[in-house]
Amino acid sequence: MQITTEIAEQQRHTFIYLRQMEKKKEERKESKDVQRHLWRIARVNLICYSCVESFIVKFLVSSIENDSRYKRTWGKGNSKGSNVVSRQPSGVRNGQTAQTNAAAAPSGPYINRVTNDAREDEMEDNLQAVGGIIGNMKDMALNMGNEIDKQNVQIDRINDKVSLRPITANEKYFQKMAFTSILPSGS
């Protein structure tokens, strides 16, 4: 008789335990339903936030087009160019200022003749050859300077374009990753 009462007692405890587990299961199921509902609300809020954000960005972009920096960067503003140096200071040759444009060849001798012999003629020829080489190098330096200035203007325009962007690509990527990571996979 004692064994039957012990078995009945164990069955009663097991039954109570199973009922408690069933209640917990129902509570979990209800909490999962609540959680799913909250996820749906969060998703709708994020979609609404995304719509509002895109509206604000469009508003800012349309208003930024009136900015003088935007017009200058994208070519709608003042297109006079920059202050590019196209002439170097004139050189002094034999006590006189030399002409700076390459079309006009320098006139007059490079040296003051004293003995008027073959050595002075050879020195004059050598100095004229060196002067021609230096003139060519000067023209190349001017061309390089102009090209560097053009490249600098282009780099400045690119930097201005980048600075006018409201959100960078990295920020957009991380926002997208954060948005997709909080969405539930089942819904």
Strand 92-93 relative to strand 96-97, pairing: antiparallel
What is d(CA 167, CA 176) in angstroms, rounded to the nearest whole number?
Answer: 13
Q: Does a structural domain hold residue 114?
A: no
pTM score: 0.35
The strand pairing partners of 96, in sequence order, are 93
* Contact predicate 136/119, CB 8 Å: no
The boundaries of the domain holding residue 63 are: 2-67
Q: Does a structural domain hold residue 52?
A: yes
Which pLDDT value is given to residue 151?
Answer: 92
What's the domain count of the chain? 1
* Contact predicate 179/46, CB 8 Å: yes
| 33, 42, 176, 184, 186 from 36: Cα distances, Å | 5, 10, 21, 8, 9
- Percent with pLDDT over 70 in the chain: 60
Residue 34 pLDDT exceeds 80: yes
137 vs 167: which has the higher pLDDT = 137
Q: Does a structural domain hold residue 41?
A: yes
Q: 42-51, pLDDT tens digit by residue?
A: 888 877 777 7
